[in-house]
Chains A and B, each alone.
Chain A
Amino acid sequence: MKGGPDIVLLGPQRIDPVVRAAVIAPDIGAALAELGVRGRVALVTAGWQEREADDEPLVRAMAVPADNLRLHARSQEVFAADAPLSAAYSARQELLRHLQSFYRIRLDKTDDAARAISVRHVEPELLAQEWRVSVEQFRQLDVDHLERCRAIHAAFDDRWQLGSRPAITRHRDELRALIEPAAALVIAGGHVASLLNRLKLFDVLELAGGKPIVAWSAGAMCLTDRVVLFHDFPPYGSDIAQVLDAGFGLVPGVVVLPDAARRVRQDDRAGIGRFAQRMAPATCVAMDPGARLTLTGTRLRAAHAARLTPDGDIDREWQR
């Protein structure tokens, strides 16, 4: 092993979110071929939740056979079999949702303060200084939130020792048997919280060891240090990007922004700049259809994607 698995992150595969009947303009097949993956792969579609088994169009697009790990269904089985764990897990999720909403309120108020200060009629140098203070406040909120999430997960793991609960170990054994012979691990997008939780519950990335990983959208987000939720066009008008939780850190120093062309206000230079500064030193990468990041271990080997810059630009020619 050269310090970690080969990892390829892709842009959206445009799978119909409702019926999942089609994969439009996919490049997953090409990515697997470039990695030299020709054999059976282990597939994670847990982000599709109850519809995780509807993988036929995706498997067709991959052009290699696949074993769907059925993480969502397995998690349902675990919760049905282990009532105390299920109750504790629900309570943990409830607590995380509360923290997320409190963090979100603090972000909104910080945003209000930043906007109120930004329209004051004072020297530009002072405004620039205040801008930096505002960015730093956002960064601190993000750090604090992530720390609190980590602490909750650590306490939960410590209390419940997932690796020794029969309801889980049985599945982990089955998953090991499916993953071991696989040529690669493929992680599709979908509901990022649901996916992240199930990858953690079954320790799938540990089971995958040094196998090549191809992931896109929510799957790609889970592999980074921080899962950052964003949407500049929600139906209720506007929203502010927020850290959801820690990812697995296999792709460090990158914030993945799937489908950014649709979700990021492209002409909002101030907003883009502030977001990039807030996430620095991580690189904010717009993963639109056709985008690709290739890593060996934790080293970014090749990039074909757009990058959000601290100056508020979208660098569409970013190549490495």
Chain B
Amino acid sequence: MSNVPADLKYTKSHEWVRSLPNGNVEVGITDHAQHALGDLVFVEVPEKGRKMSAREACAVVESVKAASDVYAPIAGEVLEGNAALGTTPELINSEPYAGGWMMRLKPSNPKEVAGLMDAAAYSRFLESEA
């Protein structure tokens, strides 16, 4: 059973989104995703300043088994990538929702966040995929 925190939003490609107090958002991949990948050995996050459209491939996570693209959940500009993942990619495995955050974005259209799946919808989605 994977962990799906109630206060976050989710995408079908297994990214999570946390709304930050200042209007920006924090993005990472879910517990389900990190479990499927296995021990991560390499992570690449987008550079500061990069502007992305929704669903654009913007980051890479690589384990021994597989390498996957991570997609921008909403359109926005990258404010910061999590530099710690360069040396400690396994943070995504141990703390997918905390220390394993991947990037912080300034949303182009804040309303897009509301259109994402909530925790219940994502949990149902996971069950249907199994």
Asked whether A and B interact, the reply is no
